[in-house]
């Protein structure tokens, strides 16, 4: 039987998170910190220059500041081969850059039986990115309403089977999934677990530092509890949140723990509190905490978020071509 067919057979109880190994030291794992998406009108000014220079490309621009960007559009519609090749061409100057991409919502937010044509459509662009060595992870993002029961386990088994061969990572938000069987099954299949920060309601999955595959993954959604489940709230309202450094520092330590797992080779840390560029600020702060130094930041960002950025970043007009990839370090964040 497919291992996912047995997910969650045990009870929920108190949290059961495997302890990451390698606590005595860090290996050669690479930590990439980045943002979710790039096509936001409300980033014009706070993040992107206004007026934009002739030929300005937001994706190419972001690839100079970050090592990873999570593709949002693939959640709403599958990426074509043409779109994927366009993305690749726009970041070709940054060989260490990676994409992660949400899997089409057909597989995570709908429950009617999917077809072979659906699978081909969902995989078309992702397979292009993977074949180029640029796909860090394919993200299966399930909603809080996706709770652990036999039907959900069966659905997961079918979806992961259809997408086999992609570097899958699984995000579940309901606490019913917090059982040892889930982590064991993901580990057996080489599927990563998404550690997430979200508004905590009853039965919401809490922050964790779980590693179940070569790919470690962290998503930082924001903590806007007022609007997270509010009927009628817009996407921008739900993700309108700026983390304080005190809220982010525990995540920097969790990222180090994930990177210390002996199985992990790459960790992707993605901020998703996108409204008005707040995710860019928090991603830069996290990079600074992980690298133990001030990092370069777009000078445009300092106009809106100068006080938040000043302890962690220096404003520059363009990123240095010699910026090192973030690797796990023992030293702490700048004072």
Alpha-carbon span 199 to 193, nearest angstrom? 19
Query: Quick check: 7 and 156 in contact, CB under 8 A?
Result: yes
* Rg of the Cα atoms in the chain: 19
Residues 6+ apart with CB under 8 A from 4: 153, 156, 157, 160, 185, 189
pLDDT band, very low/low/confident/very high, at 201 (cuts 50, 70, 90): confident
Q: What are phi and psi of 39, to 5 degrees?
A: -105, 80
Supply the mean pLDDT for the chain. Answer: 88
What is the pTM assigned to this prediction?
0.88
SS3 48: strand
The structure tokens listed for 190 are 């080489």
CATH numbers and ranges of domains, the chain: 3-15+29-316 (3.20.20.410)
Q: Is the pLDDT of residue 16 over 90?
A: no
Please report where in the chains the tokens 């039987």 appear, as a residue. Answer: 1
Structure tokens at 48: 């992107």
- Give the CA angle between residues 203, 194, 332 to the nearest 5°: 105
Reported confidence tier of residue 234, pLDDT bands at 50, 70, 90? confident
> Which residue reads 């520092």 in tokens?
249
Secondary structure element (H or E) that encloses residue 39, with its range:
none
In this predicted structure, the answer to whether residue 193 has a pLDDT above a threshold of 80 is: yes
């Amino acid at each position: 039987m497919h291992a996912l067919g047995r997910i969650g057979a045990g009870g929920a109880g108190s949290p059961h998170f495997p302890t990451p190994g390698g606590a005595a030291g860090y290996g050669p794992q690479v930590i990439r910190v980045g943002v979710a998406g790039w096509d936001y009108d409300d980033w014009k000014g706070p993040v992107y220059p206004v007026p934009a220079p002739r030929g300005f490309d937001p994706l190419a621009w972001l690839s100079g500041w970050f090592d990873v960007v999570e593709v949002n559009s693939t959640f709403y519609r599958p990426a074509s081969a043409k779109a994927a090749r366009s993305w690749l061409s726009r970041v070709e100057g940054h060989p260490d850059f990676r994409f992660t991409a949400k899997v089409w919502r057909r597989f995570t937010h709908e429950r009617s039986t999917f077809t072979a044509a659906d699978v081909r459509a969902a995989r078309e662009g992702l397979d292009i990115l993977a074949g180029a060595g640029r796909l860090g992870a394919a993200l299966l993002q399930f909603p809080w309403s996706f709770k652990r029961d036999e039907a959900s386990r069966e659905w997961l088994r079918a979806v992961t089977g259809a997408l086999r061969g992609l570097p899958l990572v699984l995000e579940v938000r309901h606490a019913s999934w917090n059982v040892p069987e889930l982590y064991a099954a993901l580990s057996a299949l080489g599927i990563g677990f998404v550690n997430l920060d979200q508004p905590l309601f009853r039965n919401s999955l809490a922050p964790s530092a779980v590693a179940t595959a070569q790919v470690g993954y962290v998503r930082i959604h924001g903590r806007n509890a007022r609007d997270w489940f509010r009927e009628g709230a817009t996407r921008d309202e739900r993700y309108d949140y700026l983390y304080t450094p005190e809220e982010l520092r525990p995540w920097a330590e969790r990222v180090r723990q994930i990177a210390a797992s002996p199985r992990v080779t790459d960790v992707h840390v993605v901020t998703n509190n996108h409204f008005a560029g707040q995710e860019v600020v928090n991603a830069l702060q996290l990079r600074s905490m992980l690298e133990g130094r001030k990092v370069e930041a777009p000078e445009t960002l300092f106009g809106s978020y100068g006080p938040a950025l000043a302890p962690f970043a220096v404003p520059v007009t363009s990123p240095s071509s010699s910026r090192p990839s973030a690797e796990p370090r023992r030293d702490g964040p700048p004072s």
